[in-house]
Amino acid sequence: DGKTGLYALENADLFNLLVIPPYLAGGNVDAGLIGEAAAYCEARRAF
């Protein structure tokens, strides 16, 4: 199937909560990732 990252969730029957731990120095998460994750969660009716 080749899906990775957020899109690996396509294989899950259901998910409703997505948690993204910080991976950059300083404890921040890339703003682009947050936007993409928010759009994906909205489409899947998740938080």
- 42 vs 29, which has greater pLDDT? 42
Q: What percent of the chain has pLDDT over 90?
A: 34
Domain count, the chain: 1
Ramachandran region, residue 5 (left: φ > 0; alpha: ψ -120 to 50; beta: rest): left
- The predicted structure's pLDDT at residue 35: 93
Backbone angles phi, psi at 38, to 5 degrees: -65, -45
The two tokens of residue 11 are 């294989």
Domain that holds residue 10: 5-44
**pLDDT at residue 38, rounded to an integer:** 94
pLDDT at site 28? 85
pTM: 0.74
Cα–Cα distance measured from residue 20 to residue 17, given in angstroms and rounded to the nearest whole number = 10
Q: How confident is the model at residue 41 (pLDDT cuts 50, 70, 90)?
A: very high
